[in-house]
């Protein structure tokens, strides 16, 4: 198996000096002025060293030149196969071009960076090759990173050993300027394919991995039982909800909000807020959503189409929050989060919500 | 500045800094031991069984007769003894190692003398279909054991018939279901509340019995979230099933409030006392308001665990729930003991006959040998041992105790090696396997996997301070290796008879071989 590497050398530069991100040349310059030094290559080398210790080496790694991968590959005692030469200084466009150049030469593309890098990699490679993030950024809301650089290396080694499934994972888009102003504003940017190695949670066969199919089938069956013949089921975005749609016999886009009828037929796919408000305003609807893995946002991130008006029309009793136990575990005890844009509604949703974890199984989980 | 005698140049440097106590030079025995079925010589005999007492003129129906004699191994007694002694050296048997790492599956010393009672023909020769006039002795033991458990828990009646663990929990759930059915509430009370750190069997048994399950997560202090409980209870609540202390080792300080909230909603409360090892003689389920409870006799009362086999449980209930106990119960009229099968509201039989009598005898003997003060002392020493070990483990680089850090625990602790795993790539499971290289046991019973890289230790009262020191020193040594030489840990075991087992084979029914016949069919292809 060929494992490629692209490093965003400035990822994480702003974090240690309190800039909440590293997007843009201005911020990077400011970070350097404040004394920040790049550590992305060092962390990428750690991931490669872990990989090497598990599968033996040295072997050749398709990568980009200098700080964008070559240095890290050499540091880890491996052989770089440079497929792209970046400019100096490097820019986000270099990440996109490097990833696109490496994709045809890799069965797994490791990228070192944060959410911004994940977005660039997604733009460049889409679903053409599985990817996995080595976390070196300030924000890693996307569910595409190993918990640590070593964990990323370990996941790559497991994939190299064979038998690892590939799943879709969420890439988040956070507005750094908003964060600097004290607001958190993230949305679902898209999906990439990652090796299904739940590195955050101890891996042992306990019937509850991230994509545990029996839990998802149980969730789907429980939702179907509740759904009256003249009611609608509004499904939020995400892989859990798409699996629910599949279990109900429907095929829906992964992104966006979709509406099913009780019979399982798709009433509307990838709806906008206005369309959804019109549908839910006339027909009773269940709203089913799943929190964003590892992060916990329930409303206000990636599913803004489910507007306060839609939620109010459905009513709290027709709100179905679903998550596998493994997904709840990935929150590490942190509460679920709501940010609908309507403070009164947010206040109503806070407290404890029953989260559907399987057929006839609930977790009473805090929402903040 | 350090003072004192200068170390002699003849003293090895590591004598000063080496682990204390020194780690034993353990190596598992390696015997090329054939299977029992491959040993022996045709015609060889170990024992001559007594002749059948069945009269010669009794003819068995064809369906009960073997077509051919059974293919039993034929070998002498000393050969059998050597065979099993060799096998016992090829694993980490309970008599050899400090097995505090069995996690939630309490391992404590089962006094050998109790096995002599069980091997006595008066017990070993009992037949479950004997006339009850001929089994007065064992019925008396059961009746007395019930009395002791009533005193220990405060409950009004017990059944000793269920198996332990899940079987006992299921018995309690079945009684809860019968109770509400009798009150005409079977349809409306269909929800059971439990907590994420209660034994997962509580959720599983409730689900199996047809209830919906609501699981409470911990609050910021690591205790079951009482606000979540308030939100969860209602007219549909049938029961709260809760382990206390939970598997984190934390005792819920608001347990009486939990019981009150559920009672006010009309539900019942069942106390899973799987972790009762640290509370004997200190708290009682009934005094806290619980309506049902169960003990795992194989844990708390020092009988063999038996790995899913002949474990014994004990389900206790308040007088209100006594009519629903499994049948039969053991009754005493002042002269004779009898089995009462005439119990119209009973949930019926949970296990055949009386339950696992040998373990009931062992538990009775253990309680009688300790007495009330001894039980409490056993609990206190278990708590002391646990917190002593925790203080030592927390000094090890990479180890931590999530949830309510800094608080003492009851009889076990769920630790986390998350930091060590992040820094070294060595996982909890690797540490457990490497610990076997030092002759100690460390299993992986840490369900549910909410704590990352979990390790659950439960020292019980049976281990000496020196043994706990040795166990902690082994963990410290393995952690040091993880930082300095992770490859050694990851490729462990190095001193065992066999290398790491392939879990995919263990998990796949197509490759299980739990009998010789299955082994022949699935592995040898015969």
pLDDT in tens, A10-33: 887 765 565 656 666 777 777 777
Question: B486 to chain A: which residues are within 8 Å by CB?
Answer: 53
The model's pLDDT over B315-344, given as tens digits with 9 standing for 90+, comes to 999 999 999 999 999 999 999 999 999 999
CA nearest A94: which of A105, A86, A103? A86
Contact: A364, B217; criterion CB under 8 Å: yes
Q: Would you kindly state where each structural domain of chain B is located, as residue ranges? A: 115-369, 371-506
If pLDDT is split at 50, 70 and 90, which confidence band does B19 have? low
| Coil, strand or helix at B192 | strand
Minimal C-alpha gap between A355 and chain B (Å):
9
Q: How far is CA B174 from the centre of its chain?
A: 22
b or e along A55-83 (b: 16 or more beta carbons within 10 Å of the residue's beta carbon)?
bebeeebbbbbbbbbbbbbbebebebbbb
The model's pLDDT over B433-472, given as tens digits with 9 standing for 90+, comes to 999 999 998 887 777 778 888 999 999 999 999 999 999 9
Tokens representing A100 are 């696109």
Beta pairing class for A257-261 and A266-271: antiparallel
Whole-number Å distance between alpha carbons of B175 and B161: 14
Please compute the mean of the pLDDT values over residues B249-266 and round it to a whole number. Answer: 97
Please compute the mean of the pLDDT values over residues A284-311 and round it to a whole number. Answer: 86
| pLDDT score at A7 | 96
Whole-number Å distance between alpha carbons of B125 and B113: 18
CA nearest A313: which of A238, A241, A230, A232? A232
Task: Select the residue from A57, A210, A355, A360 to test the B interface by mutation, using most B Cβ atoms within 10 A.
Answer: A360
Q: Which DSSP category does A295 fall into?
A: T
CA nearest B246: which of B402, B369, B113? B402
Instruction: Locate the DSSP E strands across B188-298.
Output: 191-195, 212-216, 237-243, 268-272, 292-296
Write down the residue that tokens 């119990």 correspond to. Answer: B343
| pLDDT score at B10 | 40
Task: Select the residue from B197, B217, B240, B258 to test the A interface by mutation, using most A Cβ atoms within 10 A.
Answer: B217
Closest residue in B to A54 (Cα–Cα): B487
- In whole angstroms, how large is the CA radius of gyration of chain B? 26
* CA within 13 Å, CB half, B160: 30
Over 70: is that where the pLDDT of B118 sits?
yes
Whole-number Å distance between alpha carbons of A183 and B326: 60
Nearest to A201 among B424, B452, B507 (CB): B452
Contact residues for A206 (Cβ-Cβ < 8 A; gap 6+): B447, B448, B449
Contact residues for B128 (Cβ-Cβ < 8 A; gap 6+): B352, B353, B354
Contact residues for A240 (Cβ-Cβ < 8 A; gap 6+): A216, A219, A290, A322, A323, A324, A327
Over 90: is that where the pLDDT of A188 sits?
no
Whole-number Å distance between alpha carbons of B419 and B400: 8
- Determine the topology of domain B371-506 in CATH: 3.90.1150
Closest residue in A to B403 (Cα–Cα): A333
Minimal C-alpha gap between A151 and chain B (Å):
7
Tokens representing A319 are 């709100």
Percent of chain A with pLDDT over 70: 87
Minimal C-alpha gap between B425 and chain A (Å):
6
DSSP string, B21-77: SPPP--------PPPGGGSB-TT--S--PPPP-S-TT----GGGS-SS-----B--H
Higher-pLDDT residue of A28 and B116 is B116
Please compute the mean of the pLDDT values over residues B504-518 and round it to a whole number. Answer: 77
3-state class percentages of chain A: helix first, strand second, coil last, to nearest 5: 35, 25, 40
Closest residue in B to A325 (Cα–Cα): B450
If pLDDT is split at 50, 70 and 90, which confidence band does A136 have? confident
| pLDDT score at B50 | 85
| pLDDT score at B2 | 42
Please compute the mean of the pLDDT values over residues A327-345 and round it to a whole number. Answer: 85
Over 60: is that where the pLDDT of B17 sits?
no
Contact residues for B244 (Cβ-Cβ < 8 A; gap 6+): B251, B252, B255, B271, B272, B275
Cis status, amide bond into A236, omega within 30 of 0: no
| pLDDT score at B3 | 44
Contact: A151, B423; criterion CB under 8 Å: no
Q: Which is it for the CA torsion B504, B510, B511, B516, positive or negative?
A: positive
| pLDDT score at B206 | 97
Nearest to A150 among B216, B425, B446 (CB): B425
Percent of chain B with pLDDT over 90: 66
Over 70: is that where the pLDDT of A126 sits?
yes
The kind and range of the H/E element at B181 are helix B166-182
User: How many beta carbons lie within 10 A of that of residue A96, not counting itself?
Assistant: 18
If pLDDT is split at 50, 70 and 90, which confidence band does A40 have? confident
If pLDDT is split at 50, 70 and 90, which confidence band does B391 have? very high
Tokens representing A181 are 């102003």
Please compute the mean of the pLDDT values over residues A288-293 and round it to a whole number. Answer: 87
Nearest to B228 among A202, A352, A357 (CB): A352
Please compute the mean of the pLDDT values over residues B335-358 and round it to a whole number. Answer: 93
The model's pLDDT over B198-222, given as tens digits with 9 standing for 90+, comes to 988 999 999 999 999 999 999 989 9
Contact: A364, B214; criterion CB under 8 Å: yes
Contact: A363, B217; criterion CB under 8 Å: yes
Please compute the mean of the pLDDT values over residues B5-12 and round it to a whole number. Answer: 42
A107, A27 contact by CB (below 8 A): no
Higher-pLDDT residue of B379 and B98 is B379
| pLDDT score at B486 | 92
Q: Which residues of B touch A (CB under 8 A)?
A: 193, 196, 203, 207, 211-218, 225, 227-229, 231-232, 403, 421-425, 427-429, 444, 446-450, 452-454, 486-487, 503, 507
Over 50: is that where the pLDDT of A83 sits?
yes
CA nearest A150: which of B347, B424, B102? B424
If pLDDT is split at 50, 70 and 90, which confidence band does B306 have? low
Higher-pLDDT residue of A188 and B42 is B42
The model's pLDDT over B147-197, given as tens digits with 9 standing for 90+, comes to 999 999 999 999 999 988 899 999 999 999 999 999 999 999 999 999 999
Contact: A50, B196; criterion CB under 8 Å: no
| pLDDT score at A175 | 62
* CA within 13 Å, CB half, B252: 29
What CATH architecture is B115-369? 3-Layer(aba) Sandwich (3.40)
A150, A47 contact by CB (below 8 A): yes
Whole-number Å distance between alpha carbons of A267 and A173: 28
Ranking A49-58, A198-207, B94-103, B104-113 by mean pLDDT, the lowest is A198-207
Over 90: is that where the pLDDT of A341 sits?
no
Over 90: is that where the pLDDT of A146 sits?
no
| pLDDT score at A180 | 53
| pLDDT score at B369 | 96
Please compute the mean of the pLDDT values over residues B383-405 and round it to a whole number. Answer: 95
Q: Of the ranges A112-121, A126-135, A205-214, B474-483, which is most confident?
A: B474-483
Write down the residue that tokens 């994709």 correspond to. Answer: A103
b or e along A193-212 (b: 16 or more beta carbons within 10 Å of the residue's beta carbon)?
bbbbbbbbbbbbebebbbbb
| pLDDT score at A212 | 63
Question: B507 to chain A: which residues are within 8 Å by CB?
Answer: 205
Q: Which residues of A touch B (CB under 8 A)?
A: 50, 53, 147-148, 150-151, 153-154, 200-206, 208, 325, 328-329, 332-333, 351-352, 354, 357, 360-366
Angle at the Cα of B173 (from B167 to B178), degrees rounded to 5?
125
Q: According to DSSP H, which parts of B332-417 are helical?
A: 357-393
State residue A141 phi and psi, 5-degree precision. Answer: -80, -25
């Amino acid at each position: 198996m060929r494992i490629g590497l692209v490093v965003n050398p400035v990822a994480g530069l702003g974090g240690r000096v309190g800039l909440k991100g590293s997007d843009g040349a201005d911020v990077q310059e400011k970070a350097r002025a404040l004394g920040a030094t790049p550590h992305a290559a060092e962390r990428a080398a750690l991931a490669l060293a872990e990989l090497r210790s598990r599968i033996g080496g040295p072997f050749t790694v398709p990568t980009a030149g200098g700080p964008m991968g070559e240095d890290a590959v050499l540091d880890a005692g491996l052989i770089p196969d440079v497929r792209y030469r970046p400019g100096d200084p490097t820019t986000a466009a270099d990440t996109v071009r490097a990833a696109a150049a490496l994709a045809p030469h890799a069965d797994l593309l490791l990228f070192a960076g944060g959410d911004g890098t994940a977005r660039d990699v997604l733009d460049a490679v889409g679903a053409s090759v599985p990817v996995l993030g080595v976390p070196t950024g300030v924000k890693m809301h996307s569910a595409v990173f190993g918990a640590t650089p070593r964990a990323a290396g370990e996941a790559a080694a497991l994939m190299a050993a064979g038998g690892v499934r590939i799943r879709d994972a969420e890439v988040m888009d956070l507005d750094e300027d908003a964060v600097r102003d004290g607001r958190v504003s993230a949305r679902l940017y898209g999906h990439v394919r990652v090796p299904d190695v739940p590195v955050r949670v101890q891996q042992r066969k306990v019937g509850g991995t991230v994509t545990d199919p029996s839990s998802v089938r149980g969730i789907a069956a429980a939702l179907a039982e509740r759904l009256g013949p003249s009611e609608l089921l509004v499904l939020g975005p995400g892989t859990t909800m798409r699996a629910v749609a599949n279990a109900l016999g429907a095929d829906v886009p992964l992104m966006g909000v979709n509406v099913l009828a009780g019979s399982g037929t798709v009433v509307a796919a990838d709806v906008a807020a206005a369309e959804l408000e019109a549908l839910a305003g006339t027909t009773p609807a269940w709203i089913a959503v799943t929190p964003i893995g590892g992060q916990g946002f329930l409303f206000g991130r990636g599913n803004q189409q489910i507007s306060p008006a839609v939620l109010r029309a459905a009513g709290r009793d027709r709100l179905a929050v679903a998550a596998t136990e493994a997904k709840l575990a990935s929150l590490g005890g942190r509460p679920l989060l709501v940010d609908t844009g309507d403070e009164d509604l947010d206040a109503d949703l806070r407290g404890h919500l029953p989260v559907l974890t399987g057929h006839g199984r609930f977790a009473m989980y805090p929402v903040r | 500045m350090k003072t004192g005698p200068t170390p002699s140049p003849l003293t090895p440097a590591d004598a000063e800094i080496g682990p204390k106590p020194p780690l034993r030079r353990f190596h598992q025995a390696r015997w090329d031991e054939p299977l029992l079925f491959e040993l022996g010589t045709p015609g060889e005999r170990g024992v001559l069984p007594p002749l059948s007492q069945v009269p010669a003129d009794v003819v068995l129906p064809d369906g009960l007769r073997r077509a051919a004699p059974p293919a039993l191994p034929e070998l002498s007694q000393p050969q059998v003894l050597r065979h099993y002694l060799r096998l016992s050296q090829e694993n980490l048997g309970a008599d050899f190692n400090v097995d505090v790492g069995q996690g939630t599956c309490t391992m404590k010393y089962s006094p050998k003398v109790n096995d002599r009672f069980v091997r006595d023909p008066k017990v070993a020769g009992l037949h479950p279909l004997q006339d009850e006039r001929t089994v007065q002795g064992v019925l008396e033991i059961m009746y007395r054991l019930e009395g002791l458990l009533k005193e220990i828990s405060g409950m009004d009646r017990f059944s000793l018939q269920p198996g332990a663990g899940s079987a006992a929990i299921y018995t309690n759930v079945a009684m809860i279901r019968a109770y509400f059915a009798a009150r005409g509430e079977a349809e409306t009370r269909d929800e059971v509340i439990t907590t994420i750190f209660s034994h997962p069997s509580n959720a599983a048994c409730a689900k199996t019995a047809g209830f919906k399950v609501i699981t409470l997560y911990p609050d910021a202090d690591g205790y079951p979230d009482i606000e979540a409980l308030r939100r969860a209870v209602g007219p549909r609540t049938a029961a709260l099933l809760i382990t206390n202390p939970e598997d984190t080792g934390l005792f819920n300080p608001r347990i009486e409030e939990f019981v009150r909230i559920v009672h006010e909603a009309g539900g019942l409360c069942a106390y899973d006392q799987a972790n009762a090892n640290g509370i004997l003689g200190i708290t009682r389920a009934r005094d806290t308001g619980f309506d049902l409870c169960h003990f795992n006799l194989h844990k708390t009362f020092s009988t063999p665990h038996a790995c899913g086999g002949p474990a014994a449980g004990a389900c206790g209930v308040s007088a209100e729930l006594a009519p629903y106990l499994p049948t039969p119960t053991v009754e005493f009229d002042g002269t004779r003991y009898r089995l009462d099968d005439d119990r119209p509201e009973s949930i019926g039989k949970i296990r055949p006959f009386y339950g696992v009598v040998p373990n009931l005898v062992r538990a009775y003997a253990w309680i009688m040998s300790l007495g009330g003060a001894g039980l409490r002392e056993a609990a206190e020493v278990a708590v002391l041992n646990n917190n002593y070990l925790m203080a030592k483990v927390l000094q090890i680089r990479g180890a931590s105790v999530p949830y309510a850090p800094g608080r003492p625990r009851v009889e076990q602790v769920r630790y986390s090696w998350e930091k060590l795993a992040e820094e070294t790539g060595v996982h909890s499971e690797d540490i457990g396997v490497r610990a076997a290289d030092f002759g100690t046991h460390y299993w992986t019973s840490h369900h549910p996997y909410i704590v990352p890289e979990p390790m659950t230790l439960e020292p019980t009262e049976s281990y000496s301070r020196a043994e706990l020191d040795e166990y902690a020193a082994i963990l410290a040594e393995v952690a040091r290796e993880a930082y300095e030489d992770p490859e050694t840990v990851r490729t462990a075991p190095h001193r065992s008879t066999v290398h790491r087992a392939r879990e995919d084979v263990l998990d796949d029914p197509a490759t299980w071989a739990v009998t010789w016949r299955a082994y022949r069919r699935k592995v040898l292809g015969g």
